Structure 1
Amino acid sequence: MMEEYDRYSIDSIVEYATKLVGHTLREYVTVEQIADFHTRKGSYGNAVEEYYFKYRPNSDSRPDFSEVGLELKTTPVKKNSRGELVAKERLVFTMIDYEAVVNESFEESQFLKKARDVLLITYLSEPDKEPLDYVIEAVVRWGLPEEDLPQIKQDWETIVNKVRSGHAEDISGGDTLYLEAATKARTSKDRRSQPFSNVPAKPRAWALKSSYMTAVQRKAIDGMKLIPRTADEKNLELLELVSARFAPFFGMTEHELAERFELSRSKDLCARITRRILGVEDGDKIEEFEKAGIKAKTMRLRKTGRPKEAMSFPAFDYFDLLETGFDDSSFLGYLEQKYLFVIYREDAAGEYRLSDVCFWQMPEKDLDEARRCYEQMRENVRRGRADVSVGSRENRCCHVRPHGRNSQDTRPQPYGQSVVKKCFWLNQGYLQEEIARVLQS
């Protein structure tokens, strides 16, 4: 069968791809079914390559349409509980060759060659449909935005420097903001050699985080704003930019900052101050934070460095807790999120003054401890004892306690009378240790 597009013309390739918008793959190909992507990752993308563009999928390090330097990527979106379209998964580009990557620069890296010019096909993944019947939502020619390159370069160098130091086994998703080294092991025991250590490391691939891809999909939504940058700030990575914005205000109290930005007193005053310092208005989504999945959190530290309060998460549903394992839980999602801690420290007079900012995400080494807290509370619910919590002395990282308005603010449990609403909290002592660790590093 003759090709219906010219591989030597980007315009022809893009025009051919846009025919898919609003349609399903089944309408254009003769194959009856494709492999379930739950059992074989990449099967949908492979089907688009093989049956629509009519070229055999391969592991070539060059872009898919090598004649014009264009990479083809398919990426799924799903509807969240609010009916919004969000990225279903990260966007994977190419495997990391530990032996070769240590000799690359970011500008000449295999990742950048793949991500510089991308034909991005977005489809809506729906659980009650066969993959061939997923609707293609959008087709765009896309590349890494210039304003994101400083942060993506920083992420790339953070990962590569771990390989160069002989510690590829310590790479973690929490190390970076936009770009990550996603695990791609076929089994839990799958490992690869690294050049400067005898310790084997998990196989990993270059990937843009799902939070980043959600922001890409929402780029056209009104209200998402980039942090405005001066010419001197153009090449700063995100933490450097945020730190530079906050530094002039260190030492000021909440009241002084409210007067400085002409803000009235309100429950969310500190959050509004944070937005003003960053140069965005109330109600605007901060594009950089959306891409990195960052949530700003005000932390008030006493003179000792101990947080004034533990850090809470939304109240959980007792039925959901019983039915959902830790790996699929909202709690794990909160822990894997990255936070911007805006820190106010208590002075000798008892006033809280803006003192530091830092990014924090629970280290992977602590997730097992959080899992233990989750499973302990889950077992309490299973025994019909949802009234029994997990105390802060029982777990180094987390605990469970009420999160309702009062004792009458309850929720039903599977095996017993309704119980006051509860949620998971991060321990004050744990937060004190983690904030000190991050600031020292």
Structure 2
Amino acid sequence: MEKEDRVYSSVEELIAQANSGIGIPFGVLDKTGRIEKISNKGKLGQIIEEALFDIKINDRAESDIPNLGIELKTTPYKRLKNGSISAKERLVLCIINYMTENWDNFYETHVWDKCQKMLLLFYDGTLDDRFPKDYTLSSNYMFKWIDEDMPTILDDFNRISNKVKKGQAELLSESDGRYLSTCTKGQGHGKDMRNQPYSDKVAPQRAWELKPAYMTYILRNYVFNKNEIESIIKNTQNKPFTEIIKEQIESFKGLDKETLFKKFDVNPKSKQANNTLIRKILGINTDVDKTAEFQKANMNLRVIQIKHNGMPKEDSPFKQFEFKNMVTESWEDSQMKNEICDKMFMYVFFKASDSNNTKYCLDKVLFWGFPESLIPEAKRVWKETIEIIKNGVVLTEYKNTVQTNFPTSKTNNVVFTKIHAKNTLYEIQKDKFVGKGNLSDTSQLPDGRHITKHSFWFPKKFVKRIYDENI
């Protein structure tokens, strides 16, 4: 006779059982030997449910502990070089059935019914992935959806729902949501396609998810450190944080930078003048990127000047990279993926009010995420840049300057590679330098030469597409 699932009479009993597994290697908990054959880390949760909680492996629509309405989720975190803790991956909630999901009311969806309450079981995923039997649970947390985050989560749901209702489920992207979103789930390559209700086109199978940055915030502020982080939104409001921020900043629409700098007592010559201005408009003391809302959404502030003709004043840079680090990084841990493809951005645009581009006035605020459809192109540029670094960067002297063979904006419309320093210095031969910069302006190549620091950039034409909301 098949063994019945254990029934837990209370939340306290369930948490006590979870605590009993802390510190015990998964391989010891597992009595079936199933973990030795595991090929998908996503199956680790099933093993923990079976071995620790006495629940048979299942694919039920209801929550794992139905009488308590609690779903069990086993999920990894990682320790960064600076010692801080970060979510290793998104928290996948449940598969989406486009045909039966309630696209009108989040509180009547399958994901809400199944995952309204979750017991999160955390393990340190920094260990070598080849040895899942050595993983141990280190903490757990009874997750309940946070009231102050619900307006943003509902806004995320509505954005996703609107795409589906337009018959565009095949165009869903992780960048659709700030906290809640969807991710592809299955084998991929067209093998996991599903019907959608408002179109004859099939769409890739996707799952509801809480995004990695949101899970990192939960880990750092509810599970482990429990730090107090400044919020932009001071009082609970029935609006997503993006709408509140947009309204607050755009209340100064039409005012020029000089007027705003004076009004908010910002030194216009400061390197951080633009960021300081936005911070003061929002009435916060910390950097915008370090606020609770921006950390949860993995969001970055970008202030852009648009010329009178509608073209951005300049290309838009990202952080400098070290050449030696680039050649050893994987795509999953790369700067390109983490700082561009996985980021959400808040763009604050100032547009020139005169044809001579002498006065820039606050124009609009726009929230934008890198589309999944463009990730292959970004990855291609990343790979090409790495290959050039590995094979030896070609330096060519031309009219008192030095040119490289990195991907340029002339042939790369989404992202390209360019110097990112005020002064340049190139070691064109061993100990022979060209340029007025210092060694501090350079990064060392694997072959030993020093050349001016570089970074990835969005070309002006691409930023214009963002500004025009044409991407």
Distance in 1 between the 2:102 and 2:166 partners? 10
How far the C-alpha of 1:303 sits from its partner, in A, is 1.5
2:149 equivalent to 1:117: no
Partner of 1:238: 241
Q: Are the aligned partners of 2:321 and 2:454 in contact in 1 as well (CA < 8 Å)?
A: yes
SS in structure 2 opposite 1:315? strand
Distance in 2 between the 1:36 and 1:148 partners? 40
Alignment of 1:41-440 (within 5 A): 41-102=41-102, 105-128=105-128, 130-190=131-191, 191-220=193-222, 221-230=226-235, 234-264=237-267, 266-282=270-286, 285-324=290-329, 326=331, 329-336=334-341, 337-348=343-354, 350-385=358-393, 387=395, 388=404, 389-406=406-423, 407=425, 408=438, 409-415=441-447, 417-437=449-469
Unaligned runs of 5+ in 1: none
Distance in 2 between the 1:34 and 1:53 partners? 16
Equivalent position amino acid for 1:52 in 2: L
Equivalent position amino acid for 2:383 in 1: E
Change (3 A) 1:356 1:187: closer
Q: Are the aligned partners of 2:389 and 2:446 in contact in 1 as well (CA < 8 Å)?
A: yes
Equivalent position amino acid for 1:131 in 2: P
How far the C-alpha of 1:227 sits from its partner, in A, is 2.2
Alignment identity in percent? Answer: 28
Write the deviation string for residues 109-144 of structure 1: whole angstroms up to 9, x where unpaired: 111122311111111112337323334332121111
Equivalent position amino acid for 1:350 in 2: T
Write the deviation string for residues 32-87 of structure 1: whole angstroms up to 9, x where unpaired: 671577x3132221121000001112111111100111111112100123221100
Q: Are the aligned partners of 2:311 and 2:461 in contact in 1 as well (CA < 8 Å)?
A: yes
> What TM-score results when the alignment is normalised by the length of structure 1?
0.90
Q: Are the aligned partners of 2:22 and 2:138 in contact in 1 as well (CA < 8 Å)?
A: yes
Distance in 1 between the 2:36 and 2:367 partners? 40
SS in structure 2 opposite 1:101? coil
How far the C-alpha of 1:230 sits from its partner, in A, is 4.9
Q: Are the aligned partners of 1:386 and 1:419 in contact in 2 as well (CA < 8 Å)?
A: no
Q: Are the aligned partners of 2:49 and 2:55 in contact in 1 as well (CA < 8 Å)?
A: yes
How far the C-alpha of 1:209 sits from its partner, in A, is 0.5
How far the C-alpha of 1:281 sits from its partner, in A, is 1.1
SS in structure 2 opposite 1:419? strand
Distance in 1 between the 2:190 and 2:204 partners? 8
Distance in 1 between the 2:275 and 2:307 partners? 19
Count of aligned positions: 436
User: Greater shift after overlay, 320-329 or 375-384?
Assistant: 320-329
Change (3 A) 1:229 1:35: farther
Distance in 1 between the 2:252 and 2:352 partners? 15
Distance in 2 between the 1:368 and 1:131 partners? 30
Once superposed, what is the RMSD of the aligned Cα atoms? 2.7
Equivalent position amino acid for 1:205 in 2: A
Distance in 2 between the 1:36 and 1:222 partners? 40
Q: Are the aligned partners of 1:396 and 1:430 in contact in 2 as well (CA < 8 Å)?
A: yes
How far the C-alpha of 1:316 sits from its partner, in A, is 2.4
> What TM-score results when the alignment is normalised by the length of structure 2?
0.84
Distance in 2 between the 1:355 and 1:97 partners? 40
Equivalent position amino acid for 1:355 in 2: D
How far the C-alpha of 1:24 sits from its partner, in A, is 4.1
How far the C-alpha of 1:279 sits from its partner, in A, is 3.2
How far the C-alpha of 1:182 sits from its partner, in A, is 0.8
